[in-house]
Amino acid sequence: MNIGDFHRGRRLRRTAPLREMVRETELRPADLIQGYFVVDTPDAGFEKPIGSMPGQSQFSVERLVVRVGKAMDLGLRSAIVFGLPQKKDPAGTGAYADEGIVQRAVRRLKETYPELVVVTDVCLCEYTSHGHCGLLNDHGEVLNDPTLELLAKTALSHVRAGADIVAPSDMMDGRVGAIRVALDAAGFSHIPIMSYAVKYASAFYGPFREAADSAPAFGDRRGYQMDPANTREALREAAADFAEGADILMVKPAMPYLDILRLLRDNFDTPIAAYQVSGEYAMLKAAIANGWLDPKRAVLESLIGIKRAGADMIITYFAEEVLPWLK
């Protein structure tokens, strides 16, 4: 016998059916949540492509409804909606207005497609004139506890409009608990919270800030989002949100933080979500546009890698594109 005769890994890689038989991870349409940007505009036909996110656009409510319908024909099951209001102010009042842009979009989506799982991003940065995720004090610092009440109001208004899941992305301390209490008190104890529990202060949100017009007017988000260098802190953040009643814990971004996804998977028996963010999308799209990467293989590999690392579900701008490939 020669070396290699006992273990021959290639035996199970010889044919496609054999490879499929031993495949450990699978990507399913139900795992994918597509991100959409909806604009408050009187122009019902509004659709504006986002330069740094080829294939993605800002839509009017009516155009969004059409686009989501097409995606559902391809098998889309879930969407997360981000709003661009007409006006912004220091307290981000558009975020929790009953006739706010996300509230109206959610109402239209749910009345048109009751079976669509609609997720809303709960944050103030798209609605504040200063672009930060909460209220500011006179020194331009984001105030934690006074912001909680506004986040809870925002989540409640989304749920009243028909949201199936609320996803707070602000990184204020105690917001999951504040939202849980507010939802329960209003009779929505059945609505789950998907917490952006482990959200890093990342350069990869760059294209999103163009898409959602939510760049901070001064400073950055390092005073509330996590330091990319930290691992143990991710466990503390996840534990805090879990204790406050988060039903799903999210890691964001995804590809540079696969170790963190695995860490949460191994430490929590709750569903884990990953957010493949705008910069990850832009990076892949740019390389694909140059002919440097094969679109189908590269995109599917990026998503299977995220699932393999521990994600049960993935928010990704590639959802619409990959659905036909999963058939």
Confirm or reject binding of residue 31 to ligand PBG (CB under 6 A): no
Confirm or reject binding of residue 315 to Zn ion (CB under 5 A): no
CB of 213 to Zn ion, least distance (A): 12
User: Between 205 and 224, how does the x/- string for binding to ligand PBG read (CB under 6 A)?
Assistant: x--x-----x------x---
DSSP state of 227: P
Structure tokens given for 158: 């989304």
The number of beta carbons lying within 10 Å of the beta carbon of residue 269 is 7
Determine whether 199 is an active site residue.
yes
Pick one of 56, 169, 195, 302: the residue that binds ligand PBG (CB under 6 A): 169
| # residues contacting Zn ion (CB under 5 A) | 3
- What distance in Å separates the CA atoms of residue 249 and residue 276, rounded to the nearest whole number? 14
Nearer to Zn ion, 101 or 284 (CB): 101
Q: Helices 101-112 and 61-73 sit at what angle, rounded to 10 degrees?
A: 40
User: Between 122 and 151, how does the x/- string for binding to Zn ion read (CB under 5 A)?
Assistant: -x-x-------x------------------
Confirm or reject binding of residue 278 to ligand PBG (CB under 6 A): yes
Nearer to Zn ion, 103 or 225 (CB): 225
- What distance in Å separates the CA atoms of residue 33 and residue 315, rounded to the nearest whole number? 5
Does 13 appear as a known binding residue? Answer: no
Catalytic residue among 70, 88, 110, 199: 199
Backbone angles phi, psi at 212, to 5 degrees: -105, 0
Q: Which of 90, 178, 162, 157 is nearest to 127 (CA)?
A: 90
Backbone angles phi, psi at 181, to 5 degrees: -60, -45
Nearer to ligand PBG, 125 or 135 (CB): 125
CB of 225 to ligand PBG, least distance (A): 7
Confirm or reject binding of residue 195 to ligand PBG (CB under 6 A): no
Confirm or reject binding of residue 277 to ligand PBG (CB under 6 A): yes
Which H helix or E strand runs over 251?
Answer: strand 248-252
Measured in residues, the chain has a length of 327
Does 125 appear as a known binding residue? Answer: yes
The binder of 78, among ligand PBG, Zn ion, none, by C-beta within 5 to 8 A per type, is none
| # residues contacting ligand PBG (CB under 6 A) | 11
Helices vs. strands in the chain: H and E counts, helices first = 11, 10
Burial class (CB in 10 A: 0-12, 13-18, 19+), 327: exposed
User: Residue 166: helix, strand or coil by DSSP?
Assistant: strand
- Site residues for ligand PBG, 98-157, by CB under 6 A, read 121, 123, 125, 133
- What distance in Å separates the CA atoms of residue 259 and residue 109, rounded to the nearest whole number? 35
The number of beta carbons lying within 10 Å of the beta carbon of residue 229 is 7
Catalytic residue among 48, 87, 110, 252: 252
Chain-centroid distance of CA 143 in Å reads: 24
Closest residue by beta carbon to ligand PBG: 208
CB of 177 to ligand PBG, least distance (A): 19
The number of beta carbons lying within 10 Å of the beta carbon of residue 146 is 14
* Positions marked active-site: 199, 252
Annotated binding site for 5-aminolevulinate: 209, 221, 278, 317
Annotated binding site for Zn(2+): 123, 125, 133
Residues lying near ligand PBG in the complex (CB under 6 A): 121, 123, 125, 133, 169, 205, 208, 214, 221, 277-278
Annotated binding site for Mg(2+): 237
